Amino acid sequence: MKSTKKTERQPKLSDVREPHAPVPLLSAENLKNALWETLHAVKNGEILPGQGDAIASQAREILRTVKIQLQIAGQAKRRVPTDVVDFAEQALLMSPAE
C-alpha cells in the first residue's frame, strides 16, 4: 500500500541556477579565483568544509590532467595541446572590463 504522505521534492540544478546564466570559461585564473572564494566561504561558514573539500578535489583533478598532458607532450616531443595553452593563457586574453 502506498503512503499518502507527500515528500518534499529535491531541488534540481535548473531550479537553483539562473536559466541562462553564463558559464565562465575554464582557465587557470578562474580556477584560482574559485578556490579562493571557496576558502573564504568555508572560513565564513557560508559552505560546509566537505563542500569545500569536494571543490578542491575537482580542482586537483583538473590540474593533474593538465600536468599529465604537458608531460606527455614533452616526452613525445610534440606540441602542447591548444586546450592546455588556452587554459593557461585565458586570463591574459581577457580584457579588464570582463
The pLDDT assigned to 38 comes to 94
Q: Quote the radius of gyration of the chain (alpha carbons, Å).
A: 19
pLDDT in tens, 37-89: 999 999 999 999 999 999 999 999 999 999 999 999 999 999 988 888 888 88
Alpha-helical (H) ranges within the chain are 13-16, 28-43, 49-75, 82-93
Q: Rounded to two decimals, what is the model's pTM? A: 0.64
